[in-house]
Amino acid sequence: MIAQDVISAKKLPVLGVGINPIRYRDVLQQFRSWVTERRLSQSPADATGHYMCIVSVHGIITAMTDPRCRNALNSADLATPDGMPVVWALRSFGESYSRRVYGPNLMLALCGQAARLGHRIFLYGGTEATLSRLKLSLARRFPSLVIAGAYAPPFRALSPEEDRQVIRTIRDADADIVFVGISTPKQDYWMLDHRAKLPGAIMVSVGAAFNFHAGEVRQAPSWMQDAGLEWLFRLMVEPKRLWKRYLLITPLFLPLWALQRIGILKYERAAEIGGHDEKQ
């Protein structure tokens, strides 16, 4: 699969959320294409903004009952499977090409590509302390990486003036890629709301990647990730914050996936990338 196929590929519906069955290399190639498109644009204000959602089981279950979340995920230019259960669901629907696109790993891959090609990145999320540690960590891994700016939003909704200041800051930084590291689904709402406000910028939600790469939270071992057991590791590490997500919400995925697999739940094939909410 090459970049042209990525941008024209149909999303496959998983419980009503369109997921692109692609791999890391496809995402990297698509980002190169988007950055080139941005830099060749005669006017930055006329460049097309893009955003990518890395969709977990939690995001899919939330989207089933939250139209705003569903619209944010289905309006993304790319929506990739974060978590082996989502990959397994795609494969059960006949899509064998798909692989997991894990936010923390994708962030490092994109930063490596950005360092090689001179793409400028911006970090939106976390706390000031987290961003300081993250910038040091990325600088050690990728000495030539251009971190054009960073912003730690408060743990509340931004005022209109604060939001305008953030937009000015990102625009002034001339950022090609904006990593958004706030919780789901807030990060997806934010990207949808800011796609038109940040023309030419490429936004990607990476969730807890900021905390992982800043060294503040441990990641699950690879074998647990591959076995679909990352949820158990994260629950053990952060039980107070994550117990509701992993014990009450995500277990609903398996029976609902089974109902779609046998045809009791039916969803239209998702529209092309960039399309809006699908009808059930």
pLDDT for the residue 9? 60
Report the percentage of the chain scoring pLDDT > 90.
65
Count of domains observed in the chain: 1
Residue 212 has pLDDT above 80, yes or no: yes
Judge whether 276 lies within some domain. Answer: no
Mean pLDDT over 44-71 rounds to 90
Residues 6+ apart with CB under 8 A from 154: 162
Mean pLDDT over 39-63 rounds to 86
Judge whether 271 lies within some domain. Answer: no
The larger pLDDT score, comparing residue 220 to residue 180, is at 180
Give per-residue pLDDT as tens, 83-114.
Answer: 889 999 999 999 888 899 999 999 999 999 99
Give per-residue pLDDT as tens, 114-142.
Answer: 999 999 999 999 999 999 999 999 999 99
Residue 155 has pLDDT above 80, yes or no: yes
C-alpha closest to that of 214 among 114, 158, 137, 144: 137
Across all residues in the chain, what is the average pLDDT? 88
Judge whether 275 lies within some domain. Answer: no
C-alpha closest to that of 191 among 22, 59, 16: 59
Report the percentage of the chain scoring pLDDT > 70.
91
Mean pLDDT over 167-173 rounds to 96
Residue 23 has pLDDT above 50, yes or no: yes
Judge whether 267 lies within some domain. Answer: no
Distances (CA, A) of 81 to 108, 114, 189: 17, 22, 18
Mean pLDDT over 266-276 rounds to 55
Mean pLDDT over 243-263 rounds to 86
Distances (CA, A) of 138 to 27, 117, 270: 20, 16, 36
pLDDT for the residue 267? 85
Judge whether 121 lies within some domain. Answer: yes
The larger pLDDT score, comparing residue 145 to residue 245, is at 145
Judge whether 279 lies within some domain. Answer: no
Local confidence band at 26 (pLDDT 50, 70, 90 cut-offs): very high
Cβ 17 vs Cβ 55: under 8 Å: yes
Judge whether 272 lies within some domain. Answer: no
Judge whether 278 lies within some domain. Answer: no
pLDDT for the residue 48? 80
Residue 163 has pLDDT above 60, yes or no: yes
pLDDT for the residue 45? 66
What secondary structure does DSSP assign to the chain, as a single string?
--HHHHHHPBPEEETTEEE----HHHHHHHHHHHHHHHHH-S-GGGSPPEEEEEE-HHHHHHHHH-HHHHHHHHTSSEEEE-SHHHHHHHHHTT--S-----HHHHHHHHHHHHHHHT-EEEEEES-HHHHHHHHHHHHHH-TT-EEEEEE---SSPPPHHHHHHHHHHHHHHT-SEEEEES-TTHHHHHHHHHTTTSTT-EEEE-TTHHHHHTTSSPPPPHHHHHTT-HHHHHHHHSHHHHHHIIIIIGGGHHHHHHHHHTTSS--PPPPBTT--PPP-
The bridge status of strand 12-14 relative to strand 17-19 is: antiparallel
Residue 13, preceding peptide bond in cis (omega within 30° of 0):
no
pLDDT for the residue 234? 77
Structural domain containing residue 178: 3-261
pLDDT for the residue 278? 40
Mean pLDDT over 231-250 rounds to 77
CA distance 242 to 208: 12
Longest CA span, the chain = 52
CA distance 269 to 261: 14
